[in-house]
Amino acid sequence: MPVTPHMEKHFTAGETVRDVVIGMSDGLTVPFALAAGLTGAVSQTHVIVTAGLAEIAAGSIAMGLGGYLAARGDAEHYYSELAREEEEILTLPDTEAEEVREIFTTYGLTDQECETVVASLRQRPKDWVRFMMRFELGLEEPDPKRAWRSALTIAGAYVLGGFIPLSAYIFMPTAHAALLVSVAVTLLALTVFGGVKGRFTGVPVARSAIQTMVVGGLAAAAAFAIARMIS
């Protein structure tokens, strides 16, 4: 009787989703707050659009640079710990072997089973190092292209998010009317974005949509209030 192969479905793009969430969330709230804050002082929408475009450009560059530096920092930390672990395996093999035993003991392995694993790892130093990096330090080898990919993803998501609340000011001549449309469009975008995020991360779509809309709406409202007080 043929056996149907077991296909595991795991989501493996967590870092990309995190970058999109970071960029899109800020892109939806910061340009909205700027445009809303200027609405009380400026009646002509083209002035608000110009300021909004300048903010989107500056914000996307700043956010993208932040993502790049964060990813580079993670990579530098990994390789620094890797060099340290390689040195410890050469200079303190017995100490490292005891750490392996402690790790497997937490999984319920007996002393004899631990000794078998330790003896095997001693014969394969490179695998030993990778094992210690993953199970002792909880570190995974970073993708060498991760920094640039993170920067471009965050910046692109910020630009996309920023144009959503600003679109009403682009197509409408009256600032106050554009503000009402911008609020509605931004809340709708937050809800849709939350639902899509939930779909990819395995969280119930409705719950993710509502949470994102509420949290993003509160953040946008707070930013709007501050911008209006300043203006």
Per-residue pLDDT of the chain (231 residues; tens, 9 = 90+): 455 554 445 444 567 888 888 898 888 888 888 888 787 677 778 888 999 999 999 999 999 999 999 989 988 988 988 898 888 888 888 888 888 888 888 777 787 888 888 888 888 888 888 888 888 888 888 888 889 999 999 999 999 999 998 999 988 888 888 888 988 898 888 888 888 877 777 778 888 888 888 887 777 777 667 766 776
Q: How far apart are CA 49 and CA 142, in angstroms?
A: 39
Q: How far apart are CA 157 and CA 155, in angstroms?
A: 6
pLDDT at 137: 82
Task: Yes or no: say if 37 and 224 are a contact pair by the CB < 8 Å rule.
Answer: yes
Task: Write the CA distances from 225 to 30, 39, 58, 72, 175, integer angstroms.
Answer: 12, 12, 22, 36, 17
pLDDT at 110: 81
pLDDT at 8: 47
3-state class of 141 per DSSP?
coil
